[in-house]
Amino acid sequence: MQPLPDFLARVQPPVTPALVIRRAAMEQNLAALQAACDAHGVRLRAHGKMHKCSMLGRRQVAAGAVGLCCQTVGEAEAFVAGGLSDVLVTAPVPPWGWARLAALVARARVGAVIDSTAQLAGAEQAARAAGVVFDLYVDIDPGMGRAGVAPEAAAGLAAAIARSAHLNYAGIQAYCGHHQHLPPGERAAAHAAWTGRLDALVAGLTAAGLAPPQVTGGGTGTAAMDLAAGLYTEIQAGSYALMDVEYGDLGDLPFLPALYLAASVVSANHASHVTCDAGHKALHPNGPPPRVVQPAGSQHRLMGDEHGAILPPGGAAEGDLVWLQPGHVDPTVALHDAFFVADEDGRLERWPIDARRVTG
Amino acid sequence: MQPLPDFLARVQPPVTPALVIRRAAMEQNLAALQAACDAHGVRLRAHGKMHKCSMLGRRQVAAGAVGLCCQTVGEAEAFVAGGLSDVLVTAPVPPWGWARLAALVARARVGAVIDSTAQLAGAEQAARAAGVVFDLYVDIDPGMGRAGVAPEAAAGLAAAIARSAHLNYAGIQAYCGHHQHLPPGERAAAHAAWTGRLDALVAGLTAAGLAPPQVTGGGTGTAAMDLAAGLYTEIQAGSYALMDVEYGDLGDLPFLPALYLAASVVSANHASHVTCDAGHKALHPNGPPPRVVQPAGSQHRLMGDEHGAILPPGGAAEGDLVWLQPGHVDPTVALHDAFFVADEDGRLERWPIDARRVTG
C-alpha cells in the first residue's frame, strides 16, 4: 500500500459526506483475523452490526468466516436478503421478532440467543408455527448488566432448550463488551478473570450433560486473548474489518485503519477554521472524536447536525475535501446509506449499507 | 386529545425501536405556527432537515406552508421526488451539488444559499449548463461562525447574483441557530440585538438598490419574536412540528410534544433496571437525554449501540413497551427509516423517512 496521503489524493467520492473504505487495508484485516482463527481451529463469525453491509459480509465469508452475526431482527432479514446463509442474532429478540426470524429459517441457517424463559417460549411458539427448528444459544452476562443470565442460571435455560423438539441447543454466548476497549494490561487481567469463570461454566454444563456445542463471543479487542485461552469455539469480532480511532488508539491490535469519512469544505470565511459538511448526522459523537487525517494536525469540532469545523484550516480551502477517521465505527456507519470502496488507484465501488434500517 | 397514558396504551408499533408521531398533536402544531405566520402575512417554509419525510412535508404544504427547506442536496432530491414543488437548500452547497440541483429545477422551484464567489460561480455554471435559472439567497452569518458572510459583505454578493442572467436574486437568509435554545429572557435579548443589525442590513441593501425580495430564517425557538419584529418575510421552523425535550423544556413555546420512541424491554434479569432495545443507533445522544414518559419517573441510560437501561424498572417487564421522548429530534430521526403516525384510537400509518440518505 502506498502512503496514506498519496492514496487519499487519488480518491474523489461523487458526494460528501462519504464513507470510504480503503479496500487493501480492509482485505488485510479480514485475512489477518481469519488466519489467526484458522491457526487455532476456531470459527470466525464476523459481526455485521458494525458494517450493516451484505457485500462486506459476503467478502468476510469468502475469506473464510462461517457466517455473520447481528444485533437486530432487521439486520438478520437484510443479511439473508443480501445472500448470507448463516446468521446469528446476538441480542435478545423482542416479542414481535420471533415470527419474523422463523420465516427466515426456510432460507438460511438462523440462530438467536435467549436470556429468559419468556424468550424461550416465544422462540418455541414461532418455530412450531413455522414448522422449523431454531438454533438457540444461552446468553451469558459476563458482568455488563445489559443482557444475559448469570453463569449459574445457564444450565436451567440450556436444559429447557435441549428438551424442546422445536429448538436446537446450539451452545452459549458470552460477549465481554466491557473488556474490548480497556488498555492492554487491564484488558489481559479482566480477560484472565473472565476466562476462569467461563472455564468453570463450560465444565459445569458438560458435567450436567449440556456441553455447549459452540461457545461464541469475543470481539476485536480481545480476539487474540480469546484465541490463546482456547475456550471460545467462535469469535464474533466486527470492528477489526474497518477499525476506528477508539480501537486504533489501544495500540496493540494487528489491524489497519480502513475507513475514512470524506467531507467537503463548504464555507471558509474565517481565519480560525473552515466549515465542512460533516456534523452530527454524518459522524456519531459516541466514542472519541474523529481524527482529522487531512489536513494533518487539525481537529474536527461538531457545529450542528450537518456541519463541523476544521481548525485550524491547515490549508484547506473552500471546495476541498477533508478526510477524517471516525471515532467509533458502528454508530457512524448507521448514519450512512453506502460505503465507497476504494482501490489504491482511486477507483470506487459503491456498497449499500443495506442493513441499516432500524424499524424493520 | 385523551390523556397521554391512554393514548400510548392504544399504540402497538409492529417493530421496535419505532418513532411514533401522535397525529393530533402534530396537526395542532402545524396549524398553530401556520396561523401565527398567516396573521403576520409571513410565509412559512417548513424545515425538512428535522423530519426528512416527504409525507410530513406535504402535510405542511397542505396546511399552508409555501414549501420546504432542507440542508443537503440529497434531501432536496428526495423531497422533489416525494412531490414537493418548492424547496430551498439552506446550507452552502458543496462543489458536486450544483449540477444535481440544476437538474431538479426542471421539476420544481429550487433555491439555494451562497456565502462566497466560488459558490456563485458554481451555481452560475450549473444553471447555464442546464439552461435554468436558480433562485439564490445570500447567506448571512449572524454570529455563529458556521456559514454565511458578515452582514457588511452581503451587498457585494447580492449585486453579483443580480448581475447574472442565470441567477435570480431571491433575497437573504439569516438563521440564528445559536438563539433557538436560549432561555426565554436571554433569547429575547439576543433576538433584539440581532433584529437591530438585520434592520440595518436590509436598509443598506435597499438603499443600494438590492432590496431583498425575501428575508428568510428564524426557527422554532424564535418564531414568535421573528414574527413580532416584522423583518423576516419567511420563517424556516422545523422542530415545531414534532418537538423534543430540548425545545419543550424552554417552557414558552406553544407547541405540543408529538414524537415518541417506542422500545421493547428485551432483558429483565436485574432489580436495578431493565434493558430496552433503544441505544445509540436509535437515540442520538446530541442534546439532553431522552425523557422516559412510560414508565413515568424512570430514566434512560445508553448501554451501547443497540441497548439502553430503564432505571428503575418502574414496573416494566420483559416484552413490555417503554416510551421515550427524544432529546433532540433532528439527529435521532436521521437514524430511522420511517415514522409510525398514530391516530388517537391507535391506528398506525407508516411514513417513510425518505430523505434520510446522506451519501446521495
DSSP A89-150: E-SPPPTTHHHHHHHHHTTSEEEEEE-SHHHHHHHHHHHHHHT--EEEEEEE--S-SSSSB-
Q: Which of A18, A340, A359 sits opposite B336 (nearest CB)?
A: A359
Q: Is the predicted pLDDT of residue B359 greater than 90, yes or no?
A: no
Are B266 and A94 inside 8 Å of each other by CB?
yes
Nearest CA in chain A to B12: A96
Question: Could you tell me the three cell numbers for B205?
Answer: 441593501
Distance in angstroms (rounded) separating the CA atoms of residues B228 and B99: 38
Are A331 and B96 inside 8 Å of each other by CB?
no
Any idea of the CA torsion for A154, A160, A165, A169, to the nearest 10 degrees?
A: 10
Residue range B190-249, pLDDT digits in tens: 999 999 999 999 999 999 999 999 999 999 999 999 999 999 999 999 999 999 999 999
Distance in angstroms (rounded) separating the CA atoms of residues A132 and B178: 57
Are B72 and A141 inside 8 Å of each other by CB?
no
Q: Which of B148, B305, B358 sits opposite A336 (nearest CB)?
A: B358
Close Cβ partners of B283 (under 8 Å, ≥ 6 residues apart):
B17, B261, B290, B300, B302, B308, B324, B326, B327, B332, B335
Q: Is the predicted pLDDT of residue B360 greater than 60, yes or no?
A: no
Contacts of A286 in chain B (CB under 8 A): 280, 285, 302, 305
Distance in angstroms (rounded) separating the CA atoms of residues A46 and A61: 8
CA distance A25 to chain B (A): 22
Q: What is the mean pLDDT of chain B?
A: 97
Contacts of B116 in chain A (CB under 8 A): 267-269, 318
Nearest CA in chain A to B350: A359
Strands A338-342 and A291-294: unpaired
Q: Which of A16, A73, A318 sits opposite B116 (nearest CB)?
A: A318
Q: Higher confidence at residue A29 or residue B359? A: A29
Any idea of the CA torsion for A222, A223, A229, A233, to the nearest 10 degrees?
A: 130
Best residue in B21, B175, B267 for a mutation probing chain A (most A CBs within 10 Å)? B267
CA distance B20 to chain A (A): 11
DSSP-derived secondary structure letter, B91: S
Q: What is the pLDDT of residue B81?
A: 96
CATH-assigned architecture of domain A4-20+253-352: Beta Barrel (2.40)
Question: Could you tell me the three cell numbers for B153?
Answer: 459583505
B107 conformational bin, left if phi > 0, alpha if psi -120 to 50, beta if neither: alpha
pLDDT confidence bin for B340, thresholds 50/70/90: very high
Nearest CA in chain A to B95: A319
Q: What is the pLDDT of residue A358?
A: 65
Close Cβ partners of B47 (under 8 Å, ≥ 6 residues apart):
B68, B69, B70, B90, B219, B236, B237, B238, B239
Is residue B312 within 8 Å of B272, Cβ to Cβ?
Answer: yes
Q: From the CB of residue A2, how many other CB atoms can be counted at a distance below 10 Å?
A: 12
Concatenated DSSP letters of A15-59: SSSEEEEEHHHHHHHHHHHHHHHHHHT-EEEEETTTT--HHHHHH
Are A306 and B266 inside 8 Å of each other by CB?
no
Close Cβ partners of B129 (under 8 Å, ≥ 6 residues apart):
B99, B102
Nearest CA in chain A to B279: A331
Distance in angstroms (rounded) separating the CA atoms of residues B78 and B354: 6
Q: Which of A286, A304, A318 sits opposite B118 (nearest CB)?
A: A318
Distance in angstroms (rounded) separating the CA atoms of residues A282 and A263: 9
Q: Is the predicted pLDDT of residue B65 greater than 80, yes or no?
A: yes
Question: Could you tell me the three cell numbers for A169?
Answer: 441447543
Q: Is the ipTM of this complex over 0.90?
A: yes
- Tell me how far CA of residue B281 lies from CA of A63, A241, A282, B17, B337, in angstroms: 28, 20, 13, 10, 12
Distance in angstroms (rounded) separating the CA atoms of residues B272 and B303: 14
Q: Which of A119, A304, A358 sits opposite B336 (nearest CB)?
A: A358
What CATH number does the domain located at A23-244 have?
3.20.20.10
Three-class secondary structure of residue A183 per DSSP: coil
Contacts of B148 in chain A (CB under 8 A): 267, 269
pLDDT confidence bin for B358, thresholds 50/70/90: low
Are B71 and A286 inside 8 Å of each other by CB?
no
Residue range B250-280, pLDDT digits in tens: 999 999 999 999 999 999 999 999 999 999 9
Are A266 and B150 inside 8 Å of each other by CB?
no
Distance in angstroms (rounded) separating the CA atoms of residues B285 and B170: 37
> Which secondary structure element, helix H or strand E, spans residue B31, and what is its range?
helix B23-39
Instruction: Spell B4-26 as b/e; 16+ CB within 10 A means b.
Output: beebbeebebebbbbbbbbbbbb
Instruction: Say how many CB pairs under 8 Å bridge A and B.
Output: 189
Are A150 and B269 inside 8 Å of each other by CB?
yes
Q: Is the predicted pLDDT of residue B159 greater than 60, yes or no?
A: yes
Contacts of B91 in chain A (CB under 8 A): 266, 277, 306-307
Nearest CA in chain B to A95: B319
Distance in angstroms (rounded) separating the CA atoms of residues B250 and B292: 18
Nearest to A176 by CA among A210, A216, A135, A117: A216
Is residue A235 within 8 Å of A33, Cβ to Cβ?
Answer: yes
Distance in angstroms (rounded) separating the CA atoms of residues A338 and A325: 16
Q: Which ranges of chain A have pLDDT less than 70?
A: 358-360
Q: What is the pLDDT of residue A357?
A: 75
Instruction: List the helix and strand counts (H, then E) for chain A.
Output: 11, 17
Question: Could you tell me the three cell numbers for A236?
Answer: 464474533
Nearest to A305 by CA among B173, B259, B115, B285: B285
Q: Which of B49, B96, B285 sits opposite A15 (nearest CB)?
A: B96
Are B359 and A17 inside 8 Å of each other by CB?
yes
Question: Where are the domains positioned within chain B?
Answer: 4-20+253-352, 23-244
Distance in angstroms (rounded) separating the CA atoms of residues A185 and B14: 45
Are B318 and A269 inside 8 Å of each other by CB?
no
HSE at residue B145, side-chain half, CA atoms within 13 A, is 12
Contacts of A95 in chain B (CB under 8 A): 264, 319
Q: Do domains B4-20+253-352 and B23-244 have the same CATH topology?
A: no
